[in-house]
Chain A
Amino acid sequence: MSTAIAELQESPAESRVNYLNATYGIKSWLLTLDHKRIGLLYLGSITLMFFVGGMAAVLMRLHLTEPQGALFEPETYNKLFSTHGIIMVFFFLVPSIPATLGNFLIPLMIGARDVAFPRLNLMSWYIFITGAALALYATLSGGVDTGWTFYPPYSAAFSHTNVVAVALGVFVAGFSSILTGLNFIVTIHKMRAPGMTWFRLPLFIWALYATSLIFVLGTPVIAITLFLLGMERILHVGIFDPAVGGDPLLFQHLFWFYSHPAVYIMILPGMGVVSELITAFSRKKIFGYAFVAFSSLSIAIISFIVWGHHMFVTGQSIYAGLVFSVLSFLVAIPSAVKVFNWTATLYKGSISYEAPMLYALGFIGLFTIGGLTGLFLAALATDVHLNGTYFIVAHFHYVMVGGAVMAYMGGLHFWWPKITGRLYPDMWARIAAAIIFIGFNLTFFPQFVLGYLGMPRRYAIYPSEFQVLNVMSSAGASILGIGYVIPLIYLIWSMRYGKPAPPNPWGAKGLEWTIPSPPPTENFETIPVVTEDAYNYASGAH
Chain B
Amino acid sequence: MMAFLQPGFELLATMGGNPFQPPSASTISSSVDQLYYLLSGITIFFTVLIFSIIFYFMIKYRRKTPNESGTETHTPMSLELTWTIIPSLICVVLFVWSSALYVRNGRPPASSTEIFVIGKQWMWHLQHPEGPREINELHVPVGVPVKLTMTSQDVIHDFYIPAFRVKKDVLPGRYSSIWFQPTETGTFHLFCAQYCGTNHSEMVGWVYVMSPTDYAAWLAGGEKTESMAQQGERLFSQFGCGSCHSGDAAGRGPSLAGIYGKPEKTQNGETKVVDEALIRQAILNPNSVHMPGYQEIMPTYAGQIDEEQILQLVAYVKSLGAEERINGK
Contact = CB atoms under 8 A, between A and B. Distances in A.
Contact of A380 (B67, B87, B101, B162): B101
Contacts of A457: 195
Interface string B157-172: 0101011011111011
Contacts of A217: none
A248 B54 contact: no
B172 A153 contact: yes
B21 A540 contact: no
Contact of A285 (B72, B91, B166): B72
Interface stretch (B43-51, B124-132, B231-239, B309-317): B43-51
Contact of B156 (A248, A346, A353): A248
A344 B196 CA distance: 47
Looking at A147, A158, A351, the one whose CB has the most chain B CB atoms below 10 A away is: A351
Given A313-B169, A336-B87, A388 B71 contact: no
A379 interface: yes
Nearest to B103: A318
A348 B166 CA distance: 49
Nearest to B96: A326
Interface in A99-151: 145-147, 149, 151
Nearest to A316: B169
Interface residue range, chain A: 35 or more
Interface string A438-463: 00000000000100111011111111
A426 interface: no
A510 interface: no
B329 interface: no
B68 A326 contact: no
A151 B169 CA distance: 12
Nearest to B193: A388
A453 B174 CA distance: 29
Interface in B179-209: 189, 191-202, 204
A368 interface: yes
A283 B43 contact: no
A490 interface: no
Given A284-B71, A347-B57, A158 B201 contact: no
B50 A343 contact: yes
Contact of B160 (A248, A361, A456): A456
Nearest to B45: A372
Chain B interface size range: 35 or more
B320 interface: no
Nearest to A327: B95
Given A158-B154, A351-B61, A449 B20 contact: yes
A346 B98 contact: no
Interface string B58-82: 1001111001111111010001100
B302 interface: yes
Interface string A32-62: 0000000000000000000000000000000
B22 A384 contact: no
A249 B171 contact: yes
Of the listed residues B58, B103, B197, B198, the one surrounded by the most CB atoms of chain A closer than 10 A to its CB is B198
B104 to A, nearest CB: 9
B211 interface: no
Nearest to B73: A348
B201 A460 contact: yes
A242 B168 CA distance: 18
Contacts of B50: 339, 343, 364-365, 368
Contacts of A542: 67, 69
A287 B302 CA distance: 65
B106 A337 contact: no
A203 to B, nearest CB: 14
A355 B10 CA distance: 43
B191 A369 contact: no
A321 interface: yes
Contact of B167 (A346, A350, A388, A461): A388
A410 to B, nearest CB: 15
A66 to B, nearest CB: 13
Contacts of A388: 158, 160, 167, 193-194
Given A348-B70, A381-B105, 18 more contacts: A74-B198, A242-B171, A313-B168, A318-B102, A326-B95, A330-B91, A343-B57, A350-B63, A361-B58, A365-B47, A375-B42, A379-B94, A382-B35, A383-B98, A389-B193, A453-B21, A453-B22, A460-B200
Interface of B: 20-22, 31-32, 35-36, 39, 42-43, 46-47, 50-51, 53-54, 57-58, 61-64, 67-73, 75, 79-80, 83-84, 87-88, 91-92, 94-95, 97-99, 101-103, 105-106, 121, 154-156, 158, 160, 162-163, 165-169, 171-174, 176, 189, 191-202, 204, 285, 302
Sort A-B residue pairs by CB-CB distance and give the 3 closest, nearest first: A242-B173, A454-B162, A284-B70
